[in-house]
């Protein structure tokens, strides 16, 4: 691996970290909105509401999404083999967003990579994370506010 490839990998890693931090902030904001509506609510009920709530965007980089869904444009679903069901669902949903965008005049004849720059910023049907990961995020947030 040459110097430019290492630099690019490092930059992509920073971008993924930034996107995950953005997702955590969005989840915490939604958690606060939902819990402020009620005097008392079971934690599991809040989690279920959040798990099925639309997300402001797809929390994935365009480059990573491209690697995962490029085969879908040719009908090859093997690019999603080995993914957990939530991630597979997310990439299939993102691909539907790509197809919808590609029908718009401003995206016609554009490459998949180009369209993904915009598609990942479109609202997502949900956050595509599991309840255990969400619990980790909320516990981490509570711990950081105690210090």
Q: Say yes or no: 71 and 94 in one domain.
A: yes
Looking at the structure, do residues 145 and 91 belong to the same domain, yes or no?
no
pTM above 0.75, yes or no: yes
From first to last of the 147 residues of the chain, give the pLDDT tens digit: 665 555 455 555 677 889 999 999 999 999 889 888 888 888 888 888 898 999 999 999 999 999 999 999 999 999 999 999 999 999 999 999 999 999 999 999 999 999 999 999 999 999 999 988 888 888 887 766 555
Does residue 102 share a domain with residue 76? yes
CB 90 within 8 A of CB 128: yes
Distance CA 84, CA 107 (A): 30
The answer to whether the CB of 58 falls within 8 A of the CB of 119 is yes
Nearest C-alpha neighbor of 59 from the set 125, 139, 5, 10 = 125
Same domain, 19 and 38: yes
Domain of 104? 58-122
């Amino acid at each position: 691996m040459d110097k430019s490839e290492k630099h690019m990998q490092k930059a992509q890693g920073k971008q993924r970290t930034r996107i995950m931090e953005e997702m955590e902030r969005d989840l915490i904001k939604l958690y606060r909105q939902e819990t402020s509506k009620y005097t008392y609510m079971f934690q599991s009920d809040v989690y279920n509401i959040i798990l099925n709530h639309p997300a402001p965007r797809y929390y994935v980089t365009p480059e990573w999404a491209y690697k995962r869904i490029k085969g879908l444009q040719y009908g090859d679903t093997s690019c999603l083999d080995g993914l957990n069901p939530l991630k597979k669902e997310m990439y299939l949903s993102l691909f539907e967003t790509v197809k919808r965008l590609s029908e718009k005049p401003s995206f016609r004849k554009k490459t998949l990579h180009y369209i993904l720059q915009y598609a990942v910023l479109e609202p997502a049907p949900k956050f595509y994370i599991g309840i255990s990961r969400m619990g980790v995020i909320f516990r981490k947030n509570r711990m950081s506010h105690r210090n």
